[in-house]
């Protein structure tokens, strides 16, 4: 999941560097950043569903729904599985959990930054 182009292998501690933490789950986030896609995730978490059945639920074309499913699939948020003649879309709960964890890590990063900002401010002290 960690795709750091060009920079070779990223060690574990590097995960907490800056946006790297976001970078590792970028596709997850863009997958989640749409209300229709989030609704598809909710539906397919309860019941795996074919794209045509999903398409009936939204006021948009089959092709548009198919596109949303493709974005989710690329992000690893859903997987497709064949059942008989049908192809069903299923939510990958682990991927959703990973996005949540990434946000938690971003929170830790910023808590650390705020603590350091306070330190710098108090070290400056009162010059008078």
Partner 1 sequence: MTVITVDKDLDACTLTIVAEFDAPLERVWDLWADPRKLERWWGPPMAPATFERHELEPGGTVTYFMTSPEGERFYGVWHVVAVDPPRSLHVEDSFADADGKVNPDMPTGQMHMRLAEDNGRTRMELISVNATKEEMQQLLDMGAAEGMQQAIAQMDALLVE
Residues 62-81 that bind partner 1 (CB under 8 A): none
Distance of alpha carbon 7 from alpha carbon 3, whole angstroms? 9
Stretch that binds partner 1, among 23-31, 51-59, 67-75, 79-87 (CB under 8 A): 23-31
Q: Does 12 bind partner 1 (CB under 8 A)?
A: no
For the chain, how long is the longest CA-to-CA vector? 80
Binding mask 90-119 for partner 1 (x = CB under 8 A): ---------xx--xx-xx-xxxxxxxxxxx
- Cβ neighbors of 53 (< 8 A, separation 6 or more) are none
- Cβ neighbors of 14 (< 8 A, separation 6 or more) are 20
Residue 88 · residue 80 · CB < 8 Å = yes
| Interface positions with partner 1 (CB under 8 A) | 3-7, 11, 13-14, 16-20, 22-23, 26, 29-30, 32-33, 38, 99-100, 103-104, 106-107, 109-122, 124
């Amino acid at each position: 999941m960690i795709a750091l182009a060009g920079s070779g292998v990223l060690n574990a501690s590097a995960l907490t560097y800056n946006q790297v933490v976001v970078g590792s789950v970028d596709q997850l986030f863009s997958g989640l950043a749409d209300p229709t896609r989030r609704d598809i995730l909710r539906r397919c978490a309860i019941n795996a569903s074919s794209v045509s059945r999903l398409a009936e639920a939204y006021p948009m074309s089959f092709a548009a729904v198919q596109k949303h499913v493709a974005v989710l699939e690329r992000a690893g948020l859903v997987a497709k599985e064949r059942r008989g003649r049908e192809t069903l879309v299923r939510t990958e709960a682990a991927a959703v959990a990973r996005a949540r964890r990434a946000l938690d890590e971003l929170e830790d990063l910023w808590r650390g930054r705020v603590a350091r900002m306070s330190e710098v401010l108090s070290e400056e002290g009162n010059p008078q």
